[in-house]
Amino acid sequence: MKYAVIRFPGSNCDWDMYYVLRDQLKVEPIFVDYRETNLPIDVVAVIVPGGFSYGDYLRSGAIARFAPIMEDIKKFAEAGNPVLGVCNGFQILTEAHLLPGGLRKNQHLEFICQQQDLFVQNNQTTFSNQFKPGEKVMMPVAHGDGNYYCDDVTLQQLRTHNQIVLTYSKNPNGSVADIAGIVNEQGNVMGMMPHPERASELVLGGTDGLRLFQSVVTRQLQK
């Protein structure tokens, strides 16, 4: 039962994820290089960490989509297994068409790095079952391209299928409908701009993020 953390050239939140998985959650993390073509067979969840894969060339996440490991991540996701993309990981998952919509430059063009209040809109997912409905939680954001966009039809679908998991309190970047995190229609792929791995220890200012990972682990143990 391993939790895979994918490393692209330019990933920079990979160790943060690793530490949280190993030291806070006491599960077994494993780094998987982007050049691999297969995930190890005992992997139960995939995490695509934040950073600036391929230097954000062309568009954030656009080149990472073509990394060799992505084919197997797609298969893993299509089989219903949990995949979490944080920040650049979210951007990669939208570019890979595993999640709808895309991330634009922040409306005010500034890179934002701050503690961010969020609302849990759906606490029934693999990634949010340890929160209360409507709960206000805090996780840091740190991004330049976090301005979520989807067209009206897609937004309606997100609402109909309860795919909006996290929204911003005081929208910091211009995202459509204050969206901070969504799941796919099946509910097994999640993308979010805030960093739960940076809110998983009291010494770092909060543990709301830890509960997001605990949600995944809890679901896994129920299987």
Partner 1 sequence: MYNVKVYVTYKASILDPQGEAVKMALHRLEFTNVQAVTQGKYFELTITKTTQSIEEQVEKMCTELLTNTNMESYRYEIEELTTEG
Active-site residue list: 87, 195, 197
Distances 57 to 61, 179, 221 between C-alpha atoms, Å: 8, 24, 39
Nearest CB to partner 1, comparing residues 79 and 153 = 153
Question: Is the distance from CB of 80 to CB of 99 less than 8 angstroms?
Answer: no
Q: How far is the CB of 149 from partner 1 (least distance, A)?
A: 5
Q: How far is the CB of 23 from partner 1 (least distance, A)?
A: 37
Please identify, using beta-carbon distances, which residue of 106 and 130 lies nearer to partner 1: 106
**DSSP three-state, residue 85:** strand
Taking the least distance from each CB to partner 1, the nearer of 152 and 222 is 152
- What is the nearest approach in angstroms of partner 1 to the Cβ of residue 109? 5
Residues 6+ apart with CB under 8 A from 53: 8, 9, 10, 11, 60, 61, 63, 64, 88, 92
Nearest CA to 193 out of 67, 48, 30, 25 is that of 48
Residues of the shown chain interacting with partner 1 in the complex, contacts defined by CB under 8 A = 58-59, 62, 66, 94-95, 100-102, 104-109, 147, 149-151, 174
